[in-house]
């Protein structure tokens, strides 16, 4: 199978998954239950993606936990996304030096 | 219009920095699987997704079938449908069909996350600015990884692995602090996700995220239905 066919198939399938609901769902949802569901979905998706994966994200439990703790504290005090994200990485790096 | 684009670009910077490191890893992997720098970059430019690309390159390397490729991409990436549906509810009127066809290309976990956290309706310019910056980070990282993967110190590369997760925490923690219902949903989703990781290990990562998120959100919708003033601000 030619490489370009593989890449094209991957790209088309991935695009359609994103495009169909985004382009063709035009109505405002009126069901209170469904609206509530969609309200919670972003937080639930991010939480499920982050935990427990964040503890494996640097390949080392100690540095991952150090980065996580720093991120949780800074996020709790409403610091900007980029500050939280880079501080987590810096903490993981510093703990990795020991 | 212009300021929306710039604001999108600015909000895209942490995403691009995270992508640089993640896609660097993907570039190394693609090069090992026998893809050229150009082919690896083409995969990143056309797909803009991490897990799906990694699985796709595995299939290419193994000479798998097209059916297998389609099923794997569907399984891993179907979560984007849920994200796209969620975002479709907070689009500005400027989002006509051509804009929707174009911007949907850039719905990634991270772009979805940042867009969801916006208070105001999403404009096409805002999303394009963010997608552009994220795209540059993603493709540049891939090309660098495929070209020069082994040159970066391991300590730097591994510490970069936490960047995107740190950003996710920065998105979910402030609203969890303000609303007990959000906190409950966040904890429930994390708990189910942990169950999949350590107990029901036969479920793939993509499906585990979908099931965890859907279960927690259904429970949240049943127990804590949102009032009208809340739903505009997810």
Instruction: Summarize pLDDT for B54-77 with one digit per residue, the tens.
Output: 778 878 888 888 988 888 788 778
A38 falls in which pLDDT band (50, 70, 90)?
confident
User: Do both B36 and B120 map to the same domain?
Assistant: yes
Residue B174 lies in a domain: no
Residue B219 lies in a domain: yes
User: Do both B38 and B144 map to the same domain?
Assistant: yes
Out of B142, B168, B194, a domain closes at: B168
User: Do both B81 and B33 map to the same domain?
Assistant: yes
Domain that holds residue A70: 3-97
In contact, B77 and B48? CB cutoff 8 Å: no
Average pLDDT, rounded, for chain B: 88
Instruction: Summarize pLDDT for B184-225 with one digit per residue, the tens.
Output: 999 999 999 999 999 998 877 667 877 888 899 999 999 999
Instruction: Summarize pLDDT for B34-52 with one digit per residue, the tens.
Output: 899 999 999 999 999 877 8
Partner residue opposite B166 with nearest CB, options A8, A53, A84 = A84
What is the predicted pLDDT for the residue at B154? 76
User: Do both B128 and B224 map to the same domain?
Assistant: no
**Is there a contact between B42 and A17 if contact means CB atoms under 8 Å apart?**
no
What is the predicted pLDDT for the residue at B1? 53
Chain B residues within 8 A of A50 when measuring between CB atoms: 165, 168-169, 172, 190
Out of B110, B143, B168, a domain closes at: B168
A57 falls in which pLDDT band (50, 70, 90)?
confident
CB-based contact (8 Å) between B59 and chain A? yes
Residue, of B28 and B99, whose pLDDT is higher:
B99
How many domains would you assign to chain B? Answer: 2
User: Do both B24 and B113 map to the same domain?
Assistant: yes
User: Do both B29 and B92 map to the same domain?
Assistant: yes
User: Do both B137 and B67 map to the same domain?
Assistant: yes
Residue B207 lies in a domain: yes
Counting one residue from chain A and one from chain B, the pairs whose CB atoms sit within 8 A come to 305
Residue B173 lies in a domain: no
User: Do both B109 and B20 map to the same domain?
Assistant: yes
* Contact partners, residue A67, CB within 8 Å, separation at least 6: A54, A57, A58, A88, A89, A91, A92, A95, B159, B162, B166
B234 falls in which pLDDT band (50, 70, 90)?
very low
Instruction: Summarize pLDDT for B157-187 with one digit per residue, the tens.
Output: 778 778 878 888 988 999 999 999 999 999 9
pLDDT of B233 strictly over 50: no
Domain that holds residue B196: 179-234
**Is there a contact between A35 and B226 if contact means CB atoms under 8 Å apart?**
yes
Bridge partners of B122, per DSSP, are: B91
User: Do both B185 and B152 map to the same domain?
Assistant: no
User: Do both B94 and B186 map to the same domain?
Assistant: no
Percent of chain B with pLDDT over 70: 94
User: Do both B29 and B53 map to the same domain?
Assistant: yes
Nearest CA of chain B to the CA of A30: how many Å? 11
**Is there a contact between B69 and A13 if contact means CB atoms under 8 Å apart?**
yes
């Amino acid at each position: 199978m030619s490489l370009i066919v593989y890449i094209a198939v991957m790209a088309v399938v991935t695009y359609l998954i994103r495009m169909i609901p985004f382009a063709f769902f035009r109505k405002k949802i009126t069901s209170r239950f469904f609206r509530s569901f969609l309200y919670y979905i972003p937080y639930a998706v991010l939480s499920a993606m982050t935990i427990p994966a964040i503890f494996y994200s640097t390949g080392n439990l100690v540095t991952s936990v150090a980065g996580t703790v720093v991120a949780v504290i800074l996020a709790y005090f409403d610091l900007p996304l980029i500050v939280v994200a880079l501080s987590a990485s810096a903490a993981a790096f510093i703990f990795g030096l020991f | 219009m212009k300021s929306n684009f710039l604001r999108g670009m600015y909000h895209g910077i942490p995403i691009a920095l995270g992508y640089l490191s993640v896609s660097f890893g993907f570039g190394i992997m693609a090069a090992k699987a026998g893809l050229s720098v150009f082919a690896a970059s083409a995969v990143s430019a056309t797909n803009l997704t991490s897990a799906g690309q990694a699985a796709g390159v595995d299939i290419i390397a193994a000479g798998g079938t097209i059916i297998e490729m389609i099923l794997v991409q569907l399984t891993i990436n179907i979560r984007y449908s849920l994200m796209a549906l969620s975002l479709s509810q907070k689009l500005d009127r400027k989002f006509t069909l051509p804009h929707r066809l174009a911007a949907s290309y850039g719905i990634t976990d991270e772009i979805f996350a940042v867009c969801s956290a916006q208070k105001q309706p999403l404009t096409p310019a805002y999303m394009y600015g963010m997608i552009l910056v994220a795209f540059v980070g993603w493709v540049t990282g891939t090309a660098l990884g495929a070209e020069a993967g082994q040159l970066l110190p391991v300590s730097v590369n591994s510490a970069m692995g936490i960047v995107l997760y740190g950003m996710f925490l920065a998105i979910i923690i402030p609203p969890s602090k303000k609303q007990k219902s959000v906190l409950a949903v966040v904890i429930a989703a994390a708990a189910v996700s942990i169950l999949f990781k350590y107990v029901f290990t036969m479920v793939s990562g993509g499906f585990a995220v979908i099931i965890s998120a859907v279960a927690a959100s259904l429970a949240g919708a049943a127990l804590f239905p949102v009032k009208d003033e809340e739903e505009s601000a997810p």
